Amino acid sequence: MATQLQTGVEGLRLWKGWLTPDAQAQMVETVRTIVRQAPLTRHVTPGGKRMGVRMTCAGALGWVSDRTGYRYQAHHPAGMAWPPIPEPIQEIWRQASGVSRAPDCCLVNFYGEGVKMGLHQDSDEADLSWPVLSISLGDPALFRIGGTERGGKTQSLWLESGDVLVMSGPARLRYHGIDRIRFGASTLLSEGGRVNLTLRVAG
């Protein structure tokens, strides 16, 4: 039974243990169906830096980055269309997002050993009023969130395998990132690491 944790941040909702261990294992297999159709890629930032996180997407739109900028597009960098968002992932959105509109992007992030993600805003979407929903699988990750401007006070919490996080309302445009993962702390992924699924209304 999932437990909603009080985060102390308005609009930031966290359910611990949304997915049972069996459901987590099934979700990993679901993610593998996405990756088989749209392989993981290490994108390059507009500044030319290669990201540590490996990414792919499912849905009508997928998030990509290269020297020309950050954007959503209808196809993988290799040219194929993104696969559809699997139903088990969409069902979590329906239950936890608090909105009736379906997501059109599921970003799949894989964090290997030593990989982190700096503080950033999710601000490339056409309408920033829709929530962002995150599903954690595998190794625990230290999630940090600040304000709507760079700098200032931040707070941190651990996201563990099976947790579901929603950023909406006042939390939607807060800067956030992953400081580190506890590599190998979970046995869900045979070689360790963390998978994060981020559902968004992009277009």
* 71-114 residue pLDDT tens: 999 999 999 999 999 999 999 999 999 999 999 999 999 999 99
Can you tell me the distance from the alpha carbon of 142 to that of 78, in angstroms, rounded to the nearest whole number?
32
The number of domains in the chain is 1
The type of residue at 56 is T
pLDDT at 1 exceeding the cut of 80: no
**pLDDT tens digit sequence for 133-175:** 999 999 999 999 999 998 889 999 999 999 999 999 999 999 9
Q: Check if the beta carbon of residue 99 is closer than 8 Å to that of residue 130.
A: yes
**pLDDT tens digit sequence for 7-46:** 989 999 999 999 999 999 999 999 999 999 999 999 999 9
CATH number for the domain spanning 185: value is: 2.60.120.590
Closest by CA to 183, choosing from 96, 133, 116, 103, is: 116
Can you tell me the distance from the alpha carbon of 45 to that of 182, in angstroms, rounded to the nearest whole number?
25
Q: Region 112-134: what's the mean pLDDT?
A: 95
- Single pTM value for the model: 0.95
Can you tell me the distance from the alpha carbon of 38 to that of 203, in angstroms, rounded to the nearest whole number?
20
- For residue 39, the number of C-alpha atoms closer than 13 Å in the C-beta half-sphere is 5
The number of helix segments (H) and strand segments (E) in the chain equals 2, 13
Cα-Cα-Cα-Cα dihedral sign, residues 91, 92, 95, 98: negative
Which residues form the domain of 42? 3-200
Can you tell me the distance from the alpha carbon of 144 to that of 72, in angstroms, rounded to the nearest whole number?
25
Confidence (pLDDT) at 6:
84
Can you tell me the distance from the alpha carbon of 106 to that of 175, in angstroms, rounded to the nearest whole number?
20
pLDDT at 120 exceeding the cut of 80: yes
Phi, psi of 30 (to 5 degrees): -60, -45
Confidence (pLDDT) at 5:
84
